[in-house]
Structure 1
Amino acid sequence: MFEKNIIDGIESGILVPFHYQGIKDETVDYRELPWRNGKFDPQQLMNLFATQKRAKHVFGHWKTHKQQRTLAFCVSKAHADFMAQWFSARGIKAVSVHSCSEVRRGEALSQLKSGEIEVIFSVDLFNEGTDLPSIDTILILRPTESKILFLQQLGRGLRTSAETNKTFVSVIDFIGNHISFLNRPMALLQAANANEAIKRLNNPEIDSKCLINIDPELVDFWQQLKLDYTKADQQYQLLKDDLGHRPTATEFYHSGYVWSKMTKQNGSWFELVLTQEREDKTLLALTPYLPFLSRGVEKATMTKCFKAILLEAFIELDGLNYPPTIEAVCIKSWQVFKRYPKLWTQDVKTDLQLIDADSPKWRKYWLDNPITFLCKQDKSDTQSWFVVQENRLHANVDVKVDDIEVMSTAMSELSELLLARYSQRQSASTLTPISKTVQSNVVTLPIEVSRDEQASLSYYPDLKIACGHFKTGTDDNSETLTLNSTFSKLDPSIFFIAPASGDSMNSGKNPIENGDLLLLERITAINAGSITGKIMAIEIRDDAGDNQYLLRKVSKLTNGQYQLNAHNPEYTPILANDSMQTFARLKQVLNGSDFIK
């Protein structure tokens, strides 16, 4: 990370320390300025920045904290020209440098180095690139859109200089009363999020040779902000500020935000993106295709990686422009799959791993499984999202020619997400047959840990723990249910709630009825314990790679085999085999009084 390089460089002596002064930008009320897509309106900033009042405010603090050679960052060419003229009128040798300025970049740097001028007011030209060792003062007069840009500006003068023998760089930064300026302390303190940065401002130390001094009024302002990290749009903007670009779906997924919470708030990934990128005309072209991107791609049920591989192959074949033949899809899918050797070994049947891409056996396997299931209409949809017509795979959506490129890019972004989610899920789980008696869960449920005295547990309405025969279920959707104080000691990372489906367990002392909500304990290597005599949720994978679940009481036979028994005598026992894994242990059936409304 860039932040770490700065601190390492200072500690190793490659870079000089910095003394950072966070000055309240008291002449501008940023809360009254429009802030869209992570930026302030540049013209309105210019109108407020190029004023006598603000220039005087800047000048006073600059005189207090400056050294000999200053590089200043301005919001526009007009702003840079104004500030250079204002300083020059007060006897300070200053120039503005930008794409239209009379003084060119190289000439200005030479004059600054020799002492002919004292300040360069710049626009963009010095944000990144060559280090400027002679500079010993950085003056930041504008908001920055990201931590990366801020650190680039900070870093311009940190290189050691044998000629000037500077001992530190003075950084004079004008900070406004707006949440966006939190990227400053986040960057300086290498904080993971804004809340962590705010807490550390009480003791803002990073290196003994560096100084961080921020106006107490700014600290108070930030501490009074109610930062709600349960909101996906705020997480999106903070991540965008951090990365310096629009986050991809995979970057957002890896940021730690619970994906199911994002979909509950916004519907789908690109619905969130479009609310945050309203001025991006290219992205706005996706609007009529949001149902397809959401239901057909992002929310594709997938517990093997097949559908993601298939989608990637379809995109690489330019499938929206020219629907590919089934033969081409199968061959391309084989080629794409081989780029992921770990997934290939893990998900492809052993007897198929040595066959060629054009093998009829591979074609049949790929057509019968991911292609068939990708084209299958889900009960919640009004249509199938992909179809096979005349031996070609078509996306079942009408895409305008001008929109094909952005649609293909969006589909590629979502197929990457599917693979990322699947890979993380698999790395967090170990498939161990029930017959081995050491248990592990296949699905890693995205559960948030709550510190409330009450138990707030994740509820998965589509998981459907079958009380009958094995039934397909997914953990794609979730919501939070709160139980009363008697459940307060439950660990939300292990316990969750799912509905019963069927009537095989509706007899005996404690019958389980269809639709009952079940309190379940995920099985891990730590809490596996004995399964004999316990009611367990058992998991298998069907030929399409989807997970199926069954609730049964486990008994151990004299020959060492395990048997899965129903409470309802109409259902015959099932012998466990190596394709079955214990997924969760039933703790109890919940009733209305267990919940807090």
Structure 2
Amino acid sequence: MLGLTATPERMDGRSIYEICDYNVPYEISLREAINKGILVPFHYYGIYDDTDYSKLHVVSGKYDEKELNETYIGNVHRHDLIYKNYRKYGSTRALGFCCSRAHAEEMAKEFNARGVKAVAVYSNSDGEFSEDREIAIEKLKKGEIEIIFSVDMFNEGVDIVDLDMVMFLRPTESPIVFLQQLGRGLRKANGKRYLNVLDFIGNYEKSGRVRFFLKDSISSKSVITSQRTEDLPDDCQIDFDLRLIDLFEEMDKKQMKLSELIYSEFLRVKEDLNHRPSRLELFTYMSDEVYQLLLGRSKENIFKDYLEFLHKHNELTLEEEKFYGGIGKEFIKHLENEQMTKVYKMPVLKAFYNDGKVLMEVHEDQLLASWKKFFNTGSNWRDLDPKKTYADYLKITDSAHLKKIFTMPVHFLVNSGKGFFIEVDKGIGLCNELYEIKDNPILAEQMKDVIEYKTMDYYSRRLNLEISN
């Protein structure tokens, strides 16, 4: 199966990587796509917005929608700021992202009052200025309207090639959403030279993060603060109002502790997914900026003891709390901290996991079956010996596979300390103390999650290394 997507990091809780067994044969960055002429350049303008967010409450990593509505709706000063910059940079077909249905309606009303034909698009639309999505897109293409104000219906899966402007009219708190909204206007069209991006930035909690959102997508710099063209894709521009540079410095001084930042990111992902994220889900959807920070601080790395993190924040169920209080928690922590310079341990652990029916011992036939199933998947065979071809891989005998299994992953698991893995005749086993929990579904669930996260993390690191080389 070949999977093609422009949005591998999604907000609907589905892992595209998992569907394709974490094999990424080709990936092109936004920077490369613009440089190769596949997408148009963008001119990004960070516009200073003096709206005061300091009294607003953050709930599960996001600002309270009701309070945002009260801040935006009826705010003539902000309406004038947005309209003035819309006129300044010019547009015939624009898309504005709002915080709510009421906000989208308000913006459409205000722009119509100023002589700009605008509609609001959102689910179950029933407002005075609302329009069905497909009808609104068709009207925009024909020039019957000039701007669509939307909430989330245009984040992904919709392309309007003639768009020449996107406006961010709410706090952008997720790098995934930021890139999806930016990407709505980057498609090429006749006569379209670039996309204008107007980002209205105030003193909201994560305002400075936009520099990292831009860095992650288009630059090798550690952070973007100016329009230095050598750091950007061809013909792109980034221009922050000078007052924003001062604001970013002020917000950086107030930066929360790393532990608070990690928990805030956890809450954001949990809110987006509508359930407590697994390790794999948190890895997939959390900001790369935060992930890299926690990797550099071993004591703050929640992936080294995720159950402890969940326990600390009262995220465990009663049954999980019982599991946490016993040897199962220590075993899972041991798996989380297993070294992964190579991927060889994963098929051995998968053999123990046994599709959810955890085994106390695995022997040659089970180890070999799991090993071959793992390395026969996608391009995993390359990890056995990158110098060999696929034809060479197919010639490897079962005895050669078994020799590698026992001299490498089995040997290192048995000698990894804690005594959780033990030698058995022609195989490897789990210590007797784990027997009482081997049928506990929480053990199987936690093992599966650790294996999937560590596999994904390994292949992500491998892919990044290949790209950098």
TM-score (norm 2): 0.65
For 1:207 and 1:363, locate their aligned partners in 2 and report how far apart those are by CA, in whole Å.
46
* Match 1:210 to one of 215, 236, 243: 236
AA in 2 matched with 1:109: I
* Match 2:194 to one of 168, 176, 196: 168
Contact 2:60 2:264 in 1 (8 A): no
Contact 2:95 2:148 in 1 (8 A): yes
For 1:414 and 1:257, locate their aligned partners in 2 and report how far apart those are by CA, in whole Å.
18
AA in 2 matched with 1:291: K
Q: 2:51 aligns to what SS in structure 1?
A: coil
For 1:139 and 1:85, locate their aligned partners in 2 and report how far apart those are by CA, in whole Å.
16
Task: Map Cα deviations across residues 331-359 of structure 1 (whole Å, 9 max, x no partner).
Answer: 4454357556576579xxxxxx8445999
1:250/1:140 CA distance change after superposition, 3 Å? closer
* Match 2:449 to one of 394, 410, 427: 410
For 1:285 and 1:55, locate their aligned partners in 2 and report how far apart those are by CA, in whole Å.
50
Task: Map Cα deviations across residues 424-475 of structure 1 (whole Å, 9 max, x no partner).
Answer: 9xx9xxxxxxxxxxxxxxxxxxxxxxxxxxxxxxxxxxxxxxxxxxxxxxxx
Deviation at 1:189, TM superposition (A): 4.9
* Match 1:94 to one of 100, 110, 118: 118
Deviation at 1:96, TM superposition (A): 0.8
Contact 1:25 1:175 in 2 (8 A): yes
2:169 maps to which residue? 141
AA in 2 matched with 1:247: F
Matched ranges for 1:580-591 at <5 A = none
For 1:293 and 1:192, locate their aligned partners in 2 and report how far apart those are by CA, in whole Å.
41
Deviation at 1:230, TM superposition (A): 9.6
Deviation at 1:414, TM superposition (A): 5.4
Q: 2:238 aligns to what SS in structure 1?
A: strand
Matched ranges for 1:458-477 at <5 A = none
For 1:356 and 1:109, locate their aligned partners in 2 and report how far apart those are by CA, in whole Å.
62
Contact 1:286 1:406 in 2 (8 A): no
Contact 2:259 2:300 in 1 (8 A): no
Matched ranges for 1:354-365 at <5 A = 354-356=397-399
Deviation at 1:16, TM superposition (A): 3.8
* Match 1:330 to one of 362, 367, 389: 367
Contact 2:353 2:444 in 1 (8 A): no
2:46 maps to which residue? 22
AA in 1 matched with 2:304: S
AA in 2 matched with 1:169: L
AA in 2 matched with 1:218: L
Deviation at 1:120, TM superposition (A): 0.8
1:268/1:253 CA distance change after superposition, 3 Å? farther
* Match 2:304 to one of 239, 254, 268: 268
Contact 1:67 1:137 in 2 (8 A): yes
1:543 maps to which residue? none
1:52 maps to which residue? 75
1:387/1:157 CA distance change after superposition, 3 Å? same
AA in 1 matched with 2:51: T
Contact 1:249 1:414 in 2 (8 A): no
* Match 2:356 to one of 318, 331, 334: 318
AA in 1 matched with 2:329: P
For 2:241 and 2:234, locate their aligned partners in 1 and report how far apart those are by CA, in whole Å.
20
2:24 maps to which residue? none
Contact 1:233 1:272 in 2 (8 A): no
Task: Map Cα deviations across residues 86-144 of structure 1 (whole Å, 9 max, x no partner).
Answer: 33344432211112125211211121222222221112222223431222221211233
1:126 maps to which residue? 154
2:132 maps to which residue? 104
Q: Percent identity?
A: 28
* Match 2:65 to one of 32, 42, 59: 42
Contact 1:185 1:197 in 2 (8 A): yes
Q: 1:19 aligns to what SS in structure 2?
A: strand
Contact 1:177 1:221 in 2 (8 A): yes
Contact 2:41 2:186 in 1 (8 A): yes
Contact 2:332 2:446 in 1 (8 A): no
Q: 1:212 aligns to what SS in structure 2?
A: strand
Deviation at 1:23, TM superposition (A): 1.4
Task: Map Cα deviations across residues 338-382 of structure 1 (whole Å, 9 max, x no partner).
Answer: 556576579xxxxxx8445999x99998998467557x745xxxx
Contact 2:34 2:234 in 1 (8 A): no
Q: 2:179 aligns to what SS in structure 1?
A: helix
User: Does 2:143 match 1:115?
Assistant: yes
1:201 maps to which residue? 226
1:319/1:296 CA distance change after superposition, 3 Å? farther
RMSD across aligned positions (CA)? 5.3
Where relative contact order (Cα < 8 A, 6+ residues apart) is larger, the structure is: 2
For 2:240 and 2:183, locate their aligned partners in 1 and report how far apart those are by CA, in whole Å.
19
User: Does 2:107 match 1:70?
Assistant: no
For 2:239 and 2:458, locate their aligned partners in 1 and report how far apart those are by CA, in whole Å.
44
For 1:250 and 1:29, locate their aligned partners in 2 and report how far apart those are by CA, in whole Å.
24
Contact 2:174 2:287 in 1 (8 A): no
Contact 1:303 1:422 in 2 (8 A): no
Question: How many residues are aligned here?
Answer: 403
Structure 2 gap segments, 5+ residues each: 1-5, 8-26, 273-280, 387-395
User: Does 2:203 match 1:177?
Assistant: yes
TM-score (norm 1): 0.53
Task: Say which one has the larger Rg.
Answer: 1
2:19 maps to which residue? none
User: Does 2:179 match 1:151?
Assistant: yes
1:414/1:188 CA distance change after superposition, 3 Å? closer
1:257/1:110 CA distance change after superposition, 3 Å? closer
Deviation at 1:416, TM superposition (A): 2.6
Contact 2:340 2:458 in 1 (8 A): no
2:335 maps to which residue? 297
AA in 2 matched with 1:40: Y
1:303/1:117 CA distance change after superposition, 3 Å? closer
For 2:352 and 2:141, locate their aligned partners in 1 and report how far apart those are by CA, in whole Å.
57
Contact 2:335 2:450 in 1 (8 A): yes
1:222 maps to which residue? 248
For 1:160 and 1:397, locate their aligned partners in 2 and report how far apart those are by CA, in whole Å.
61
For 1:11 and 1:364, locate their aligned partners in 2 and report how far apart those are by CA, in whole Å.
48
More helix by share: 2
Contact 2:201 2:207 in 1 (8 A): yes
Q: 1:48 aligns to what SS in structure 2?
A: helix
For 1:253 and 1:312, locate their aligned partners in 2 and report how far apart those are by CA, in whole Å.
30
